[in-house]
Structure formats: C-alpha cells, structure tokens
Amino acid sequence: MRLINSFLVTALTLLTACQSTPTVTVPQPPVVQVPLGPPPKPRIALVLGGGAARGFAHVGVIRVLEQEKIPIDMVVGTSVGSLIGAIYASDLSSFELEWTAFQLEKDDLFDFGVVNAVVGMGFAKGDKLEAWVKSHIKTANIENLKLPFTAVAADLNWGYKVALDKGSVARAIRASAAIPGVFQPVKHQGKILVDGGVVDNIPISVARAKGADIVIAVDISGNLGNTNITNLLDVSLQATNIMFALNVEQAKKDADVLITPAGIGDIGMLDFSQKKRCMQAGIDTTKQAMPAIRRAIEAWVSARTRPTMPVPAPAR
C-alpha cells in the first residue's frame, strides 16, 4: 500500500511540473545615455568697492582670478573700484592693469587749490582725475569697452544710486570717485553726482539687476580707526570712510563670495606709497577664497543641470 501511495505522489508531482508555464527570459536592449548639451554657465560679476588708495588691492584680486581662469562677465565698481574696473574692462589683461595702475600717483588725481576749497564745493576740482583716465584708457565710451562695465555714483540732489553704463568712461569714473568735500560734485547726464560710496560702496545690487548669477565682491573699506585727524581734509576723508564702511555692512550679505583683503586697514585713503602691499593683500586673500569661488560656480551649475536621459538603443 505504501508503495502505491509513493508511486501516486511521484506521478502527481511530475504531472504538475509538466502543466506549469515555463519562464522565458527576454533580453533587454542596451541603454544609451543621451547627453542634453553642455552645462549652463553662470554670469559672474566682479564688484569692486571704494576705499581710495587701498584700491590697489583690486589689482591683486583680478590677477588671481585671471590666473585661475575664473571667467568675469561684468565689472561693477564704486569710486576707486570704478577706476580699477574700467582699466581692466578696457584691456582684459591683469598685466596691463597692473602696469597702468602702478603709474598712478596722488598728484595725478588731486588738483587741490585754496580757491577750490573757499569758493567751490571741494578741495579738488577733479579735472586731473578725468584727464588721467582719458590718457590711460583709450576707449572713450563705456559701451565700447571689452567687458560690460558700470560705475556707480550718487545723485547729490535726491540721494539716488546712479548706475553709469554708457557714455564717457572718464566722466563716469570722475563722478563715481568724487568724494564729498574732497572733490567737487560732477555734472553728468543731467544730474549732480558724487562718490557712489555715499549710497552703495559695494554695489552688489547693481550687478544683480544687470543679470549676474554669481557675485564676487571685494570690500576694502574695513578698519574705521584713525587717530591722526588734523585738518578739514582729514575730517572729510574720515567721515567718508565711516559712511562707506557702514553702508557695506548690509550690502555685502548678498555676495556669493566676499573678498576682504587682509592687513590693509591701517593704510590711509590718500597713502599711495603702499601699492605693492595692497596688491599683495589682494593676491593672498583671493587665493584663499578660490575654493569658495569654485564651490559657488559648481553649485550653480549643478542646480541647473539635468541628468542625462536613458534611451533604449535601437533594436538590431
């Protein structure tokens, strides 16, 4: 009996196996990754702040950015930042920028005069500054510079920020650098203009308004301390320095990368004897900032780059 039962179980098992549907494995076609084009590139703005003679630090910043092949798509500058920015925008060469900037001396910019101070609206007229720019920047109009450029000034009558992105390069720089009480205000484009640092010494907002995706800003307005104030000119310069530094505090928060050249806070606004020291500070601080700059660019590109699409290969 047991033998019969065992035979029946075995037969039933074989019969069930024969009736089950066999599993068929269908080979899948290979997947081809189809690229969706090159990754997008951000528009990078270099924003150069005001700070008079400390502006030679901007030269060092630009040298490192050029050496590291960081593409600059526009330059926006206030005061000395507009001067250095325009020189660079005219040639796109840090070597030429350094050569030109280091020819600059205080006497090339300041046409001081007793008459100016007594009957005018500043110690200096600003004619020498404008003439120097005309002789060293051969491109007459902003719109013809090799790189989009904006100089920022302040409307003395109404307190508005004025972005100068067309017209005379020399006149725009003169207006942007017309430190109140030091230089006479500048009549330009139907307005009376003074140093842009009065309203925005680090004009990141102007760069954003012009389409900048990433802003690298350079602040040279630090260290307000000055115990060597002995005359009316010193008073004007120190008051300006305070004004510049205070309006930077809020503006700088909108920078993607903020470069603050170290060790130049004790350099006076009219001390042109420290050019190399300022430039070296710009070089050193920008080298330290390079990882942050590259991270900002990579993050922007990554956020806007879709992964490649898997597409089945055509059947053979």
Each residue's pLDDT tens digit, 3-38: 455 544 455 555 454 454 555 555 555 555 545 667
Q: Give 263-297 as a DSSP string.
A: T-TTS-TT-GGGHHHHHHHHHHHHHHHHHHHHHHH
Report whether 173 contacts 101 (CB < 8 A): no
Identify the pLDDT of residue 120.
Answer: 57
Identify the pLDDT of residue 265.
Answer: 83
Identify the pLDDT of residue 52.
Answer: 86
Identify the pLDDT of residue 312.
Answer: 60
Q: What is the pTM assigned to this prediction?
A: 0.83
End-to-end CA distance of the chain: 60
The residues annotated as belonging to the active site are: 79, 195
Identify the pLDDT of residue 222.
Answer: 73
Identify the pLDDT of residue 313.
Answer: 56
What is the rounded CA–CA span in Å between residue 70 and residue 44? Answer: 9
What is the rounded CA–CA span in Å between residue 133 and residue 98? Answer: 15
Identify the pLDDT of residue 119.
Answer: 46
Identify the pLDDT of residue 271.
Answer: 86
Q: What is the DSSP letter of 103?
A: T
pLDDT band of residue 80 (cuts 50, 70, 90) is: very high
pLDDT band of residue 124 (cuts 50, 70, 90) is: confident
Helices (H), 102-168: 106-109, 114-119, 127-136
Q: Which residue has the tokens 């110690």?
A: 123
pLDDT band of residue 223 (cuts 50, 70, 90) is: low
pLDDT at 118 over 50: no
Identify the pLDDT of residue 83.
Answer: 97
CA distances to 44, 195, 256, 289 from 293, rounded to whole Å, are 10, 29, 8, 6
> How many CB atoms are located within 10 Å of the residue 228 CB?
7
Q: Which residue has the tokens 């007594």?
A: 118
The total number of residues shown for the chain amounts to 316
pLDDT band of residue 316 (cuts 50, 70, 90) is: low
- The lowest-confidence range among 149-153, 235-239, 263-267 is 235-239
HSE-CB of 313 using CA atoms within 13 angstroms:
9
Choose between 243 and 306: higher pLDDT. Answer: 243
Identify the pLDDT of residue 21.
Answer: 52
CA nearest to 205, candidates 162, 170, 234, 239: 162
Identify the pLDDT of residue 275.
Answer: 95
What is the rounded CA–CA span in Å between residue 195 and residue 169? Answer: 15
Q: 3-class DSSP state for residue 42?
A: coil
pLDDT band of residue 106 (cuts 50, 70, 90) is: confident
Q: What pLDDT digit, counting tens, does each position of 290-312 carry? A: 999 999 999 999 998 866 555 56
Choose between 36 and 267: higher pLDDT. Answer: 267
Identify the pLDDT of residue 114.
Answer: 44
Q: What is the DSSP letter of 226?
A: -
- The lowest-confidence range among 77-91, 197-211, 263-277, 287-301 is 263-277
User: How does the average pLDDT of the chain come out, rounded?
Assistant: 85
Both structure tokens of 255:
């920078």
The phi and psi torsions of 140 (rounded to 5 degrees) equal -75, -40
When pLDDT is averaged across residues 232-259 and rounded to a whole number, the result is 80
The 3-state DSSP composition of the chain as helix, strand, coil percent (nearest 5) reads: 45, 15, 35
% of the chain exceeding 70 in pLDDT: 78
pLDDT at 211 over 80: yes
The C-alpha angle 275, 206, 281, rounded to 5 degrees, equals: 20
pLDDT band of residue 115 (cuts 50, 70, 90) is: very low
pLDDT at 103 over 60: yes
